[in-house]
Amino acid sequence: MYGLCDCNNFYASCQRVFRPDLVGRPMVVLSNNDGCVIARSNEAKALGIRMGHPYFQIRDLEKRHNVAVFSSNFNLYGDMSRRVIWTLRRMVPAAEVYSIDEAFFDLHGIAEPLDDYGRRIGRTIRRNT
């Protein structure tokens, strides 16, 4: 049995770690040159903001719905990714990183019910990040 650790809305979630006032508020992260949306909170998705949406096309939504807009911060996202993977690797027999916010992990030999174990992994990663 294998598991998948996939962080939700990763870049947006990383921004919220240091800005808890943004929880529940629509939020987007823009590409390197601030041209396009590369990450969205669930609240921003609900407004119809698409991945790759040009920023200039959502400025009216930004004002009407108080959307928080961030330039990308790849140093932050890399650091948070390392924290996630460090925590995961201490909790599972083996892990294989797939992307900045995803890793597959081995569940062989885990005696705890896997749904409970998965929730514990998630809680621990949230606490450690």
37 close to 50: Cβ distance less than 8 angstroms: yes
Which residue in 43, 62, 96, 102 is the catalytic one? 102
> Can you tell me the distance from the alpha carbon of 89 to that of 126, in angstroms, rounded to the nearest whole number?
14
Does 102 qualify as catalytic in the annotation? yes
Separation of alpha carbons 11 and 89, rounded Å: 21
Strands 2-6 and 27-30, sheet pairing: unpaired
Which one, of 100, 34, 21, 101, lies nearest residue 69 by Cα?
Answer: 34
**Which residues are annotated as catalytic?**
102
